[in-house]
Structure 1
Amino acid sequence: MIMQRLRSDGPACDRHTTRAPIGQTGEVPHEDSPTLGTKGSLLVAVPLLEEPTFHRTVIYMLQHTDEGALGLVINRPTTQEHVPGLDPWMHELSYPPVVFSGGPVQDNTLIALAALALDVEAEGFSSLGNGLGTVDLSLLPDELAEGLQQLRVFRGYSGWGPGQLDNELDEGSWIVLAGGAADVFSTEPEGLWRAVLRRAGGRIALLADAPGELGWN
């Protein structure tokens, strides 16, 4: 997985990849660690989860191992339309063409999530499977242009230490649902939380219209 860290003295990109910590102390899970159940899935906050950071969020999970977990909130667009030094990439953004808030961890870090044609291999593209992957923003988009279908840039990410996400799942704070590029690059991200719950059908679909104080019983 590829991350870019912004300079501490301004928003310009530092032009090198880095591994950022989960939470405050942990490392990003190693990519060769045994994968647990949520990678490539959507983590959907239940209505009872009223903490502002994650209230009614939909998170696309990039990694989940016994060392921790990492994902990107995909339904919180910001108003930021420009990142100095990244103009070529900003012109490639999918609608809405703004930076998204990926989570509360390391908001000086950018992660670019892209969808490429399944049969395309490109320098600077780290595959996550199913045609999705992270992109090295220190390169130029021309190097991916033929295969680049969708692009979203996230500032910050959501991270959990060893066992933390598993505990939250056991507590019922999240619902794990199938998801993919159509969700990551939704043109209506503000309505995505309700949309994915309704799509699930059954009892889960009822939560889409639940008031925030209603529990998951």
Structure 2
Amino acid sequence: MGALSGALLVATPVIDSGPFLRSVVFVLDHDEDGSLGVIVNRPLDSDVEDVLPEWADLVNAPVCLFDGGPVGIDSALALGVVTDIVPPDGWQQMTGRVGLVDLDGPLPPGGSLAGLRVFAGYAGWGPQQLEAEIEEGAWLVVEAREGDLISPQPETLWRDVLRRQDDDVRFWATFPDDPSAN
């Protein structure tokens, strides 16, 4: 795992359109070959029950699929936050209590997960691409909190994460949805 693995990428106003507009991305992997993450604040209209019915009872609210990003949108991956020291089978640690959950494996026993999110697709960057985007000011790199990944109000996450920052970037949370109408 690289230096950015386990961090959040928060889209800045430099990104003014497309799939990453006001997105919050959890970085799953970052190394010399590139970066991989999932957008954690884009709930979809699709219910987990419709796609992976056996997992629906384990997913926390909102119980829907999330748009993980523009790559591999026909595949699903899941992030789970474990509750105890002994993780369930099929859970692969990413950072702290956060890890990938094998959706083809056995269902984790009740109470072993504090939260679970299922994502359709993911975000990917080639070698040095993410670093270049960070340098041009498109992304703010901040510490991830477990609660960010399973927030019951993902639609407010972009502003919530910005507001908790210690420096002036917290004021980006007040950036209007349409700056041209200002």
Q: TM-score, normalised by structure 1?
A: 0.78
CA deviations 1:41-98 (Å, max 9, x no partner) are 1100001211221000000110010110000000000011145562120121111110
4+ runs of 1 displaced by more than 2 Å? 82-86, 143-146, 211-214
Question: How far has the Cα of 1:136 moved from its partner?
Answer: 1.0
**Match status 1:103 vs 2:69:** yes
In structure 2, relative to structure 1, the CA distance for the partners of 1:205 and 1:85 (3 Å cut) is closer
Q: Does 1:166 align with 2:147?
A: no
| Paired residue secondary structure (2:54) | helix
CA RMSD of aligned residues (A): 1.6
- Aligned mate of 2:161, from 165, 180, 196: 196
1:129 aligns with 2:129: no
1:211 CA displacement: 3.2
Higher helix fraction (1 or 2): 2
The residue that corresponds to 1:56 in the other structure is 22
Within 5 A, what are the aligned runs for 1:1-217?
35-82=1-48, 86-141=52-107, 143-211=108-176
Deviation digits for residues 120-174 of structure 1 (CA, Å, limit 9, x no counterpart) = 1322111112111111111232x44341221100000000001100111111110
TM normalised by structure 2 equals 0.92
Q: Distance in 1 between matches of 2:95 and 2:80?
A: 11
Shift of 1:36: 3.1
Which digits, 9 at most, give the CA deviation of each residue in 1:175-203, with x for residues without a partner? 00111211000111001000100100320
Deviates more, 1:115-124 or 1:67-76: 115-124
Gaps of 5+ in 2: none
Select between 67-76 and 199-208 the one with higher mean Cα deviation: 199-208
Which secondary structure state, in structure 1, belongs to the residue aligned with residue 115 of structure 2? strand
DSSP 3-state at the match of 1:207: helix
Please tell me whether the aligned partners of residues 48 and 212 of structure 1 are also in contact (alpha carbons under 8 angstroms): no
SS at match of 1:183: helix
Is this contact kept in 2: 1:116–1:147, CA < 8 A?
yes
Q: Kindly, what percent of the aligned residue pairs are identical? A: 36
Tell me if structure 2 keeps the 8 A contact 1:88–1:140.
no
**Equivalent residues of 1:118, 1:130 under 8 A apart:** no
- 2:105 and 2:66 mapped to 1: Cα distance? 20
Q: When the two structures are aligned, how many residues end up with a matched partner?
A: 179
Instruction: Write 1 or 2 for the structure with the bigger share of strand.
Output: 2
Partner Cα distance (2:171, 2:23) in 1? 17
